[in-house]
Amino acid sequence: MSPVNNIAVDSAASANGASSSSSGVTAFKVDSPYVHYGESSIESDYLYDTTVVSRDAATGQLKAKPTKVHYQFQTKTKVGRVGLMLVGWAGNNGTTVTASILANKKKISWETRKGTQEPNYFGSVMMASTVKLGVDSNLNDVYVPFNEVVPMVHPNDVVIGGWDINSMNIGDAMRRAQVLPVDLQRKLYDELKELKPLPSVYYPDFIAANQEERADNTIGGTKQEQLEQLRKDIREFKQANQLDRVIVMWTANTERYADIIAGVNDTADNLLKAVADGHSEVSPSTLFAIASILEGAPFVNGSPQNTLVPGVIELAERERSFVGGDDFKSGQTKIKSVLAEFLVNAGIKPLAITSYNHLGNNDGCNLSAPAQFRSKEISKSSVVDDMVGANNILYKKGEHPDHTIVIKYVPSVGDSKRALDEYVSEIFMGGLNTISIYNTCEDSLLASPLIIDLFMMTELMTRVTYRVKSDADSDEPEWAQFHSVLSILSYMLKAPVVPPNTPVVNALAKQRMAMENIMRAFVGLPPNNEMLLEHKAFH
């Protein structure tokens, strides 16, 4: 397949900037001596307020010391042309996001039983939610779209391509997925059928045996030769479409966990040698991550397996490339990260969280194999850990709620996953409270907006640098990029991978607050809070 065989923006739209964000224009301008708008960047001075806590050795009393750290941020405002390469492009998520972006870009509506439906980006926090900017002179809240806090790429402008172990064109794969309404499929089919995925990497040991019949579009040769082919694919895609940058995202099948072996995947050099030696514990997703890193393309893992082994993270740090993961956080787990936080913060003690779900898409088929289910079980099970660890009144050291996860494959329900959850909690004076939830999740329609959000946030981070100022500095410190592991993506991921020695945050409200306030810092605005002192203080 030619690397130009993908969905691209119109040349006129690319030249003129089809959206305000993509053209570097935002919905507001900050009026502050600490913010400078240049021709190609926004620079801000920002005082980060934090509290350092120590314990008095003699009395055991905690001492809290407010501290300010002086950051400077520089955000390039020109987005340029950006490409997204999906691994598993012909799967449910890949075809759904591709078709949906095309429908939005071309404003293609379709008929339903309830009338005409217009395309939208509902479910995307970047495209369909707002951020409180501040208050006006009458103390009324003022909101702006999340994607206009800083200049961001617009999904309508993205160039899409990718790989798949199955050779089916994207139009027929969209029909096979049975996710989108038939009338919309009909209107998109002629354009999508011209798109075909590049051959991908297939190691039968890493995915379920029931996927073998799909694997008719694979790269041959040694692992080293496969790595070189993936790198070549990324380069040719970038060159053929005249892109400024490419982002690679794994949205293919869940793999089994790879064993972490000393001398194999524990360091960058060992991992590269393991590829050269064709070691069996180098997974397809890890091979894609390595190829992306070596080509300077950010890589995001949307499935639960441990793609980002220690050697991958060290390689990303060494090459100053970005990685993020793991596992799209769409329906059941997102609810869990909200409800568990609510219960613990309310002083209620969850004793048992039991999650059952069944689904009938190809993801469910693959997850019916024990090794692949185990990867999903691990990513789902850790979602309450930070909330439990934050409350030593409810939970003594080592104590944790019983947490059980069951996934069953039921072909007849297709992409419409059924999720049942039961939360049993201890309340006042030894009482018990039980909350039961039944949730019907249209799996790919929840996951596809996450792909858009992950793509948009990852692209933004490629244009941001920072430095820390100190009164002791005699020279200006150099600008640096953020850490290679993008923990800012945690809101969209079940099992967030974070930089070494960084706490994992799963609570959804905290994750969104972090994302929002970091973006505010880029334009010199203080973090949002809900103190509302302007309303509570005496006038």
Active centre residues (catalytic) = 327, 376, 417, 494
SS3 69: strand
* Per-residue pLDDT tens over the stretch 460-514: 999 999 999 887 766 788 999 999 999 999 999 998 999 988 989 999 999 999 9
**CA–CA separation, 376 vs 407, rounded Å?**
9
pLDDT of 20 above 80: no
Task: Write down the pTM of the prediction.
Answer: 0.90
Domains of the chain are: 332-442 (3.30.360.10)
CB 139, CB 18: distance < 8 Å: no
* Per-residue pLDDT tens over the stretch 379-437: 666 788 888 888 999 999 889 999 888 888 888 888 888 889 999 999 999 999 999 99
Which range has the worst mean pLDDT, 133-147, 371-385, 420-434, 515-529? 371-385
Average pLDDT for residues 113-139, to the nearest whole number?
95
H helices then E strands: how many in the chain? 16, 19
DSSP-assigned states of every residue in 320-370: T--EEES-B--SHHHHHHHHHHHHHHTT-EEEEEEEEEEE-SHHHHHHTSH
Q: How far is CA 505 from CA 9, 337, 453, 521, in A?
A: 36, 10, 18, 20
All residues at 6 or more sequence positions from 491 whose CB lies less than 8 Å from its CB, including other chains: 125, 329, 453, 508, 511, 512, 514, 515
Q: What is the H or E stretch that residue 45 is in? A: strand 41-55
